[in-house]
Chain A
Amino acid sequence: MVLRTNIDAKILIQLLYQMKRIRAVEETIAERYNEWKMRCPTHLCTGQEAVSAGVCAVLRKDDFVVSTHRAHGHYLAKGGDLKRMIAEIYGKAAGCSSGKGGSMHLIDKSVGFMGSTSIVGGTIPVGTGLGFSILLNGTDQISCVFFGDGATEEGVFYESINFAILKKLPVLYICENNLYSVYSPLCVRQPAERSISKMVSSLGIASDSGDGNDATEVYTKVINAVEHIRQGKGPFLLEFATYRWREHCGPNFDNDIGYRTEEEYLCWKKKDPIMLLENEMKNRDVFNPGEVQRVDSLIESEVHEAFSFAESSPFPSQDEAFIQLFKE
């Protein structure tokens, strides 16, 4: 069992940097969305950065990741190309999916990010299949699947987990439980007393849960899960409680439309994952204000550069819509 107090200061800085970078990207998208240049739905993960950062800090570059409609954080933390992601959201030819996918369909195979898709639960079996391919190929990679609480209501979730257990697949299932599926709260979708991680453990999968706003807790729990998987003991599911600050889809805050309360939002905002980690670093005396400032300005210029790149890149020609139906 890895203890959070054993985490190297370098890792803490890495986690902080990663979360700040994701935050800056998401908030810049929110800030500029109304310019009408990003003409596709975007699902921002502001507030949920700790899961992306904590999970991907443990994964190797050659491990696989698949994700959902809310994938920006996962993509960036896994090492996906920021410029190509923003260009994709702008619908440009230089986008990671050549302008055919948009915010919900990100890919960067060079870092093992194998794709994100927009149907709830849709990548759960795909990530499981990647795990199966690892088994067949005899390599020691891991396949990691990110999904939300809503996806655990889909049949394909149970079908996939059943197969993963049956074949002892090297799959890490990460459930980001942010309490909402669009505007439907968990209480209208699942019984109040349920714990997703406990429920699935009765299927036979090793599982655990934790505070998804606490990056070091995420990190330590993923270290343990990944060790379990790499030892050939089969799949592992981790459920992390977290919260999205902004609306389901789009750049705004939506606490006023009646499906959740301002109080609830403020309560979660007090658990800002970036602030929590900074406090922890201060407690451990590894917080260096000068260093953090330096990182902040690096991030600012990197994000600025990515948006400039996206804005100045050309659109694909209209004929591009009519190619790539099949691989030739």
Chain B
Amino acid sequence: MARNLQFGKAINEALFIAMEKEHKIITFGLGVDDPKRIFGTTAGLKEKFGSYRVFDMPVSENAMTGIAIGASLNGIRPVMTHQRLDFFLLTMDQLVNNAAKWHYMFGGKSSVPITIRLILGRGWGQGPQHSQSLQSWFAHIPGLKVVMPATAYDAKGLLLSAIFDDNPVIYLEHRWLHNLEGEVPEGDYRVPIGKANVLKTGNDLTIVSLSYMTIEALHAIEILEKQGVHCELIDLRTVNPIDWETIFKSVGKTGRLIALDTATETLSIAGEIVAKVSMEMFGKLKGAPTRIALPDFPTPTSPSLTDKYYKRAEDIVHTAGKMLGRKLDVQEILDSRKSPHDVPGDWFKGPF
């Protein structure tokens, strides 16, 4: 039965279902069983499954990834969590050289069924080392699956798919989505990895989006519709492998593309989408495709510096107007804002 659930609670529910179903699943990471329980996403797990299967870990990101890999070679399915993606950079050796390569470099004799949850975010002064969106780094490495849910439904369904997948999966969750509510069925269901979701249909323009930017896109589309512009919104859900078929089909219909990203612009996933669409569908395009992403700078801390740095719904509307040769109004979006630009909503009081 469908009911509304928050994104963070959907993650928690997925973990419960998976661990109940399969006793070889373990969950670990710094703070997994601390009082805050990774923003509540691991709440109750230790009590239910015990400290052998749910545990805090030494501050040793690289080794702990290797340990997850080693354990997975003998039937264990580890789910590892980092409160910020940035800390996970200490583990690029184990991720890139071992996890991503193991199945291929041993001629398919073994595989590494691990899931790595990385939390990214924006705003509230997260600054240069607490907010990086490095999905294109991970997606660039052959052998890693990379998913980025935007809805509570996908948060649960994609996490279950990731955990039961026989390969390493990077699960990137945006902190600003944690309190977002949406329809989430009870029980075990899977959102397939590698399949995008068409969230809105329209004929004027295709917006390809991921993670939190999908929410900004939904706000933008609402305003655009009132002004007679009908967008198709594709939520990527998986950034490796990318569902090109769904993107091509949509751009074939609309002839226009805006790709959104939570990351810096150069060499981003959005850039890859623009490149591939330009190469494959040049004849069908009515104008140059474009991308909306962050400037190629580290994330500053002060709210006065992030005001123009982060991209929002009005940027999407402006860009759509430019592509269509029309001046579109964004006043309604600006007037509807109840909270400052550096928090996800009124409920957010910091600190992280």
Query: Which of B104-112, B119-127, B184-192, B255-263 contacts the other chain?
Result: B104-112
| A317 on the B face (CB < 8 A) | no
> In the complex where A119-B97, A156-B63, A163-B63 touch, is A129 in contact with B70 (Cβ < 8 A)?
yes
Chain A residues 50 to 89 lying within 8 A of chain B, measured CB to CB, are: 64, 66
| A177 on the B face (CB < 8 A) | no
Chain B residues 153 to 177 lying within 8 A of chain A, measured CB to CB, are: 166-167
Nearest CB in chain A to that of B63: its residue: A159
Query: Which of A95-103, A187-195, A288-296 contacts the other chain?
Result: A95-103
Separation of A254 and B103 alpha carbons in the complex (Å): 35
Q: Which residues of B contact A166 (CB under 8 A)?
A: 58
Q: Are B60 and A159 in touch, CB under 8 angstroms? A: yes
Chain A nearest CB, measured from B5 CB (Å): 30
Which residue from B52, B62, B68, B109 sits with its C-beta under 8 Å from A109?
A: B109
- Give the interface centre of A101, A126, A136, A143 by most chain B CB atoms within 10 Å: A126
Query: Which of A10-18, A236-244, A264-272, A320-328 contacts the other chain?
Result: A320-328
| A114 on the B face (CB < 8 A) | yes
Q: Are A126 and B70 in touch, CB under 8 angstroms? A: yes
> In the complex where A130-B74, A133-B71, A133-B73 touch, is A115 in contact with B63 (Cβ < 8 A)?
no
Separation of A163 and B166 alpha carbons in the complex (Å): 25
Separation of A323 and B73 alpha carbons in the complex (Å): 20
> In the complex where A129-B72, A133-B71 touch, is A107 in contact with B108 (Cβ < 8 A)?
no
| B217 on the A face (CB < 8 A) | no
Q: Which residues of A contact B26 (CB under 8 A)?
A: 136
Separation of A129 and B63 alpha carbons in the complex (Å): 9
**Using an 8 Å CB-CB cutoff, how does the interface string of A125-136 with B read, 1 for contact, 0 for none?**
111111111101
Q: Are B106 and A136 in touch, CB under 8 angstroms? A: no
Count B-side interface residues using an 8 Å CB cutoff: 42
> In the complex where A124-B66, A326-B143, A326-B167 touch, is A134 in contact with B103 (Cβ < 8 A)?
no
Q: Which residues of B contact A327 (CB under 8 A)?
A: 103, 108, 111, 113, 166-167
> In the complex where A133-B73, A133-B76 touch, is A125 in contact with B67 (Cβ < 8 A)?
yes
| A117 on the B face (CB < 8 A) | yes
Q: Which residues of A contact B62 (CB under 8 A)?
A: 125, 155-156, 159
- Give the interface centre of B65, B69, B74, B93 by most chain A CB atoms within 10 Å: B74
Separation of A283 and B93 alpha carbons in the complex (Å): 49
Q: Which residues of B contact A323 (CB under 8 A)?
A: 108
Chain A residues 172 to 199 lying within 8 A of chain B, measured CB to CB, are: none
| B128 on the A face (CB < 8 A) | no
Separation of A99 and B72 alpha carbons in the complex (Å): 23
| A122 on the B face (CB < 8 A) | yes
Q: Which residues of B contact A132 (CB under 8 A)?
A: 67, 70-71, 76
| A297 on the B face (CB < 8 A) | no
Chain B nearest CB, measured from A221 CB (Å): 24
| A202 on the B face (CB < 8 A) | no
Q: Which residues of B contact A101 (CB under 8 A)?
A: 105-107
Separation of A109 and B73 alpha carbons in the complex (Å): 10
Chain B nearest CB, measured from A85 CB (Å): 13
Q: Are B108 and A98 in touch, CB under 8 angstroms? A: yes
Separation of A137 and B97 alpha carbons in the complex (Å): 27
> In the complex where A119-B97, A127-B70 touch, is A107 in contact with B109 (Cβ < 8 A)?
yes
| B295 on the A face (CB < 8 A) | no
Q: Which residues of A contact B66 (CB under 8 A)?
A: 122-126, 128-129, 156, 160
Q: Which residues of B contact A324 (CB under 8 A)?
A: 103-104, 107-108
> In the complex where A105-B105, A114-B110, A122-B93 touch, is A131 in contact with B70 (Cβ < 8 A)?
yes
Q: Are B94 and A134 in touch, CB under 8 angstroms? A: no
Separation of A105 and B94 alpha carbons in the complex (Å): 15
Q: Which residues of B contact A209 (CB under 8 A)?
A: none
> In the complex where A107-B110, A160-B66, A326-B167 touch, is A129 in contact with B103 (Cβ < 8 A)?
no
| B145 on the A face (CB < 8 A) | yes
Q: Are A125 and B97 in touch, CB under 8 angstroms? A: no
Separation of A324 and B98 alpha carbons in the complex (Å): 15
On B, residues with C-beta under 8 Å from A are 24, 26, 52-53, 57-58, 60, 62-76, 93-94, 97-98, 102-111, 113, 142-143, 145, 166-167
Query: Can you list 22 pairs linking A and B with CB atoms under 8 Å apart?
Result: A66-B70, A96-B106, A98-B107, A105-B105, A107-B110, A114-B110, A115-B110, A122-B66, A122-B97, A124-B63, A125-B65, A126-B67, A126-B69, A129-B72, A132-B76, A155-B62, A160-B60, A160-B67, A163-B57, A163-B64, A326-B103, A327-B113
Apart from A159-B63, A163-B57, A325-B104, 5 more pairs, CB < 8 Å? A96-B106, A134-B74, A159-B60, A159-B64, A324-B104
- Top 8 A-B pairs ranked by shortest CB distance? A129-B70, A125-B66, A98-B107, A159-B63, A159-B60, A129-B67, A133-B74, A327-B111
